[in-house]
Structure 1
């Protein structure tokens, strides 16, 4: 009997297959809401996966290709980028993608009310150095520098550093996994032996049943 080969689950080709394929909107929505709920933000619903390619009209401009893009009925755009290696310059790339998606949403002369709220989620398989102790999940917004309770809720920039989750996941109980869906996703993405944690993941987060099925389908060929 042919055995499936274990692959790096943060491989961008696999993540596009898993979360960017029509029919897999429920998995994409669960992953996005896992990140949002980690900061107690309002969750999204009715995600529609759309073409992630932003082709430049000007040949001198960079072509912006993100891994996954989706929209909600209430005019929110979700963009997801997977990056396996890099450094702090990647933050500039995140800003570029956010800016490009804002600009592409409105034409000259159109009402600015059409501009969407951008939720940018970036899954990194390397650690960034912000000069502090390091955090597995950060979110940046436009805030009043004197009063952090006031913000312009136009963008959310989530940076999720998968490697910083490994130690947390190793110490997490089943109840903790059930309370924090992001932990289940990070446990899945960072797993080296999926078979050994399948039952735990499926019990902690029901969507993992379909996620694991898709993974097995992807690796069976």
Structure 2
């Protein structure tokens, strides 16, 4: 039996997964990724949670709070961004400050986990899931800084890295479509928008039922199709503009290279003339500089070099 096509995960986050009735789908994905039993308490408002934003940009994100009072930002990104790493750093910092009330002690800082589902190539690396966290390594003894017992009680954390934001980068295009574990089953769905019958990862069974395109009301199915068409269109426009920019950059680079080469050749010729004039000894430095368009400093350097030779 062929696998039935499902709605894309970003569309599901935007339209279907905000309801508490569907939290277990998101919980399944996060549990498999974070290797923990995640329970979502609520969906929180964020800038790109607003639906009108999603009709304009190829970016969807969702901010949720889990049972440990941690904030999880889930973002789907299609467009290539060279400064993407800096942007997710800014996003986590912004979430931290938004959720620290004035007058609260720093021990009240909320842990933020940034989960990024990327449909473009970011950086260089052979893996398709990357995890980033903060730890403090001794530069002399190579030991990891640990929390004291009183800090563990105050922060309610066992390790220092648990205080700081964590980042997950899922590079969808790098996945080879071979599901070796339950997380891979989720990544297969994120890439192919389908779930194989044998998949058993947490949340996928309900995702298969709830995210079926054929079960969408007619008007939502048409809206979804327009959304997917728009994604393809924007991707094509981006590829076209990116290719044009690269070609234009090469063209400008060649032109600049030619001009730079001409300038370099003219300067070498002027310097040779200046050396010959210095050897004759008939003109002062200022006169030679005026005749060759070289700086007085350049002439004096050559004069010193000739004097030492």
C-alpha contact (below 8 Å) 1:83/1:125 kept by paired residues: yes
Aligned residue number for residue 62 of structure 1: none
C-alpha contact (below 8 Å) 2:17/2:26 kept by paired residues: yes
Q: Post-superposition shift, 1:49?
A: 2.6
* TM-score normalised over the length of structure 2: 0.53
Kindly name which structure, 1 or 2, has the bigger radius of gyration based on alpha carbons: 2
C-alpha contact (below 8 Å) 1:52/1:67 kept by paired residues: no
Note if 1:198 corresponds to 2:199. no
Aligned residue number for residue 135 of structure 2: 143
**Equivalences, count:** 186
Pair 198,134 (structure 1): closer, same or farther in 2 beyond 3 Å: closer
2: CA distance between counterparts of 1:66 and 1:18? 13
For the residue of structure 1 that corresponds to 2:161, the secondary structure is strand
Note if 1:123 corresponds to 2:133. no
Higher relative contact order (CA 8 A, sep 6+): 1
Structure 2, unpaired ranges of 5+: 49-58, 146-159, 222-309
RMSD between aligned alpha carbons?
Answer: 2.7
Q: Post-superposition shift, 1:34?
A: 1.4
2: CA distance between counterparts of 1:125 and 1:66? 12
1: CA distance between counterparts of 2:72 and 2:65? 6
Q: Deviations over 1:14-50 (max 9, x none)?
A: 333344333222111111121112xxxxx25331232
Pair 120,77 (structure 1): closer, same or farther in 2 beyond 3 Å: same
Structure with the larger strand share: 1
1:3-18 map, 5 Å: 6=5, 9-10=8-9, 12-18=10-16
1: CA distance between counterparts of 2:5 and 2:20? 24
1: CA distance between counterparts of 2:38 and 2:6? 30
* TM-score normalised over the length of structure 1: 0.72
For the residue of structure 1 that corresponds to 2:64, the secondary structure is strand
Structure 1, unpaired ranges of 5+: 38-42, 56-64
